Amino acid sequence: MKYDFDGKVALVTGASGGIGRASALAFAASGAQVVVSDVNVAGGEESVDLIVKAGGRAVFQKCDVSRGDEVKALIQRAVSEYGRLDYALNNAGINNLGANEYEDDVWARAVGINLTGVMMCMREEAEVMLAQGKGAIVNTASINGLVGNGAQPGYTATKHGVVGLTRHGALRWAKSGIRVNCVCPGVIETPMTAPLAANPDMRKLLDSMTPMGRMGQAEEIAAAVLWLCSDAASFVTGHPLVVDGGATAT
């Protein structure tokens, strides 16, 4: 579905590929001006090029969301470039597949990017939106923010934390015109899962992890993000929207 976001400004972190890129493209296709952000400069600039070639407007700003100064600069860029900030998708995150997340440095990196990064983005975005009197924030959590994962303590804990931050923000700013929700994707076909999916046996396993028998697509998550930002979801806040092909229904 295409929404009417003409004159609106959207910010997407972690937008060099996957869910972030799909969401940035979807915002632009609906008329929004987009601020694309990532630590991957080449990928982020490619996302901007795709938007511009399709007739949209976008700029790129490099940002490591675990650094407060870079997050502040990112939000300031959005305002200086377009004058406002209406929607934000805090999507930047990492999944330390195969790593021992009980190791101090691996754990700290997961928390810094997946949780602290989301908090700092929310904090800076809300400051702008409070001045406007309106805005919508969506955080990218995971089904591992709702259920357990015996292999990844860092990823599971941080994604549970994102759900908690989302509910906190929804309550804090409910009467100020700011809605805060999160999406909880299941197994999605993105650059993050591509190395696993390249193995035919592993691809079969990944497909079998959902009752629908396939991996989700980044565009399917983007559709949920845009709905949460749109006026169609005007009475929705504090909600973890599960998009997982039925995985958590089992």
Q: What is the dihedral of CA 204, 188, 237, 23, to 10 degrees?
A: -160
Tokens 């809300």 locate to 126
**Going by C-beta distance under 8 Å and a sequence separation of 6 or more, which residues neighbour residue 40?**
16, 17
CB 64, CB 120: distance < 8 Å = no
DSSP codes joined into one string, the chain? -----TT-EEEESS-SSHHHHHHHHHHHHTT-EEEEEES-HHHHHHHHHHHHHTT-EEEEEE--TT-HHHHHHHHHHHHHHHS---EEEE------TTS-TTSHHHHHHHIIIIIIHHHHHHHHHHHHHHHHT-EEEEEE--GGGTS--TT-HHHHHHHHHHHHHHHHHHHHSGGGTEEEEEEEE-SEESTTTHHHHTSHHHHHHHHHTSTTSS-EEHHHHHHHHHHHHSGGGTT--S-EEEESTTGGG-
Catalytic residue among 3, 82, 87, 155: 155
- Give Cα 143 to chain centroid, integer Å: 14
Q: Is 155 a catalytic residue?
A: yes
- Catalytic residue numbers, as ranges: 155
